[in-house]
Amino acid sequence: MTKTFSFACIHFTVAFTVGYLMTGSIAVGGALAVVEPLCNTVAYHLHERAWAAHERRKAQAAEAEPAEGTAVPA
C-alpha cells in the first residue's frame, strides 16, 4: 500500500505541474491534479475488464480447437 500511495503522490504532482506549467494557473493545475488521475483510474478499470474478457474469449477459442495431431472428421 505504501508503494501505491507513493505512486499516487507522484501522479498528482506530475498532473499539477504539467497543468500549472502549461497555463500558469494554480487552479487549473489543481483541477488537473484531481481530474486526470480520477479519469485514468476509471479508464484503467475499464481496460482491465475488457482485457479479462479478451483473455476469456481467447482461452475458450483455444479449448474449442482440436488438439494438434488429432484427426478431424471430414
The residue behind cell 487549473 is 28
What range does the domain containing 50 cover? 2-61
* pLDDT at residue number 25: 97
Q: Is the dihedral of CA 51, 52, 57, 61 positive or negative?
A: positive
Within-domain flag for 49: yes
Residue-by-residue pLDDT tens, the chain, 74 positions = 888 889 888 989 999 999 999 999 999 999 999 999 889 889 999 999 999 999 999 999 999 887 666 665 65
3-state secondary structure of 68: coil
Instruction: Specify the number of domains making up the chain.
Output: 1
Within-domain flag for 70: no
3-state secondary structure of 73: coil
Within-domain flag for 47: yes
The residue behind cell 506530475 is 14
* pLDDT at residue number 3: 87
Within-domain flag for 34: yes
Within-domain flag for 73: no
Within-domain flag for 22: yes
Angle made by CA atoms 46, 48, 52, in degrees to the nearest 5: 120
